[in-house]
Chains A and B, each alone.
Chain A
């Protein structure tokens, strides 16, 4: 230890999650899917809308999870990519009469490109410095959307109204229900793609960078490429979520996409369990429903109630919902024996 004062033993920012522990079992996944399919049959329209938002936020949290849980990079700027996706969809639908279903892949590709480019300078930064850089992006985005010369497209401060699509082929279901199923299909597709991505060679490369960057590069992993790729993929998926969100809420405005949204997505990831993909949706449920619960407990102190509930969650399960899943799996295994 001759150079002791120069050695800083730094804690791992993101704990290592083996890739097999990143998903649910097939049986559980199918059960959850059946449950999600059945929701509109017995729920009111407003609940269906809330479930749609849950799926959308779930996708956005999932995107952050790929970035942070997968490649170990931290971002507080996801709201910016969400905003780009939302505005892309809104502008294409309202001003160029593009079919709403087509706007979603376009938003995804656009955000992938933006994220990939943003990932280039972000390569130089890590940890808290990367957090600040992405946070700067999140702070800047609403201001940029308000710029005067963009107003013909963005609608400026007032934002823009987006039409809600009808069910196609004369299906006898309401707009909300159709949108729910539409979102569900995209969510499932993105979920499967993400799981496969993390199981693939690229996913393993990202995880090796997360666990030990130097060892990864010694093994021949192109660190710069996979780090920026993770940024791009994460931004692309967030963009898809943003586009879906714009269609579901039927409205885009700069102030819906402040850094508060990025912080919410971050909380969703922590509550769901960093690096555990199904947890993204549990985290999304937390950030959608818990503020409502807090509001109903006490109007004046809703923020405090929310904070206390959040503290309770992280005290009981510091590793998020993943910890519950692992514990119940071990319990089930013990009963089998």
Chain B
């Protein structure tokens, strides 16, 4: 029983990583209706920037804030320059654009900061959290920040005018334009916010997985799985999905004989597919009703 609880606790702490990324994915999906494959690379790039700032002697929290601001502006710039011209192109062409962006950013951060693994500092410390050996103060802090971010987003989308405008632009672009919302800029804003959230996620997980250009590759798959499992229309779903994926993955690795590290991911994904077959819109997602 103790093993079971321990595995769940450590699943929650890895799940927090997936929840962060999943949240960023859902954000951008809400804003632009596409899954951004370059999300992870954007986050990695931001994390490198904050690492560079700290190398230059900047205090942690200053670097943190500047990185988020930079990512926010960078996300908007990417949308304006690269994806706005593609707005009328077929969806699959947009997906190819994400893959191209992925390749460019990955290659650039490899060239600028090379492929050696780098240590990344944590503001929360690495001591055991409340005497538990499985979860460190950093992981607890990570979960705390994820929860705070979720509450902040909820308040932003529910109680601010601009949050409401963003939701309107994503749900019914034509009607939103009719009431005077600049939908094109709402999309850009969505990109900026997603890039900002992604950079927070990157900075939070870098101390755990270590910083290198391919840091996000594995994590992104889990993040997608988390977002899809929870339902792409629900930010809360992404967080719940992230924790579930973390727990399921850990339990699979422990209890299924012969699964080990290699088969953890396939089994977790297979389980998610099974869930999706029962609930095609994800656990907390709203089924899309189409007018015909």
Decide whether A and B assemble into one complex: yes
Interface residues of A (CB under 8 A from B): 3-11, 13-15, 68, 74, 121, 124-126, 128-129, 131-133, 135-136, 139-140, 143-144, 146, 148, 212, 214-215, 263, 266-267, 269-271, 274, 300-308, 310-311, 314-315, 318-320
* Interface 0/1 of B263-285, CB less than 8 Å to A: 10110011011001100111000
Q: Closest approach, in angstroms, between the C-beta of A22 and any C-beta of chain B?
A: 16
Residues of chain A with a CB closer than 8 A to B171's CB = 5, 8
State which size class the interface on B falls in.
Answer: 35 or more
**Most B-side CB within 10 Å, residue of A131, A133, A144:** A133
Q: Is A132 in contact with B100, judged by CB distance below 8 angstroms? A: no
Q: Closest approach, in angstroms, between the C-beta of B149 and any C-beta of chain A?
A: 23
Interface residues of B (CB under 8 A from A): 33, 35, 82, 85-86, 88-93, 95-97, 99-104, 106-108, 110-111, 171-172, 174-175, 221, 224-225, 228, 232, 258, 262-263, 265-266, 269-270, 272-273, 276-277, 280-282, 288-292
Q: Is B270 in contact with A140, judged by CB distance below 8 angstroms? A: yes
Q: Across the A-B interface, give the 6 residue pairs with the lowest CB-CB distance, nearest first.
A: A303-B107, A140-B266, A307-B104, A136-B269, A318-B89, A307-B103
Measured in the bound complex, the distance between the Cα atoms of B288 and A85 in whole Å is 37
- A-B contacts, 13 listed (Cβ < 8 Å): A3-B289, A8-B290, A14-B91, A121-B273, A125-B276, A132-B272, A263-B99, A274-B90, A301-B111, A303-B110, A304-B108, A307-B99, A311-B100
- Known A13-B92, A139-B266, A315-B85: A307·B107 in contact at CB below 8 Å: yes
Residues of chain A with a CB closer than 8 A to B104's CB = 303-304, 307-308, 311
Q: Is B290 in contact with A7, judged by CB distance below 8 angstroms? A: yes
Q: Is A125 in contact with B277, judged by CB distance below 8 angstroms? A: yes
Q: Is B288 in contact with A128, judged by CB distance below 8 angstroms? A: no
Q: Is B90 in contact with A15, judged by CB distance below 8 angstroms? A: yes
Q: Closest approach, in angstroms, between the C-beta of A222 and any C-beta of chain B?
A: 19
**Most A-side CB within 10 Å, residue of B106, B172, B258:** B172
Residues of chain B with a CB closer than 8 A to A144's CB = 266
Q: Closest approach, in angstroms, between the C-beta of A229 and any C-beta of chain B?
A: 19
Measured in the bound complex, the distance between the Cα atoms of B272 and A192 in whole Å is 39
Q: Is B91 in contact with A11, judged by CB distance below 8 angstroms? A: yes
Residues of chain B with a CB closer than 8 A to A266's CB = 92, 95-96, 99
- Known A7-B290, A125-B277, A263-B99: A143·B266 in contact at CB below 8 Å: yes
Within the complex, which residue of A9, A14, A136 is in contact with B174, where a contact is CB–CB below 8 Å?
A9
Q: Closest approach, in angstroms, between the C-beta of A215 and any C-beta of chain B?
A: 8
Residues of chain B with a CB closer than 8 A to A132's CB = 224-225, 228, 272-273, 276
Measured in the bound complex, the distance between the Cα atoms of B95 and A319 in whole Å is 13
Residues of chain B with a CB closer than 8 A to A125's CB = 276-277, 280
Residues of chain B with a CB closer than 8 A to A303's CB = 103-104, 106-107, 110
Q: Closest approach, in angstroms, between the C-beta of A83 and any C-beta of chain B?
A: 13
Q: Is B101 in contact with A307, judged by CB distance below 8 angstroms? A: yes
Within the complex, which residue of B95, B97, B107, B172 is in contact with A9, where a contact is CB–CB below 8 Å?
B172
Residues of chain A with a CB closer than 8 A to B232's CB = 128
Q: Is A314 in contact with B280, judged by CB distance below 8 angstroms? A: no
Within the complex, which residue of B82, B107, B108, B265 is in contact with A139, where a contact is CB–CB below 8 Å?
B265
Q: Is B228 in contact with A139, judged by CB distance below 8 angstroms? A: no
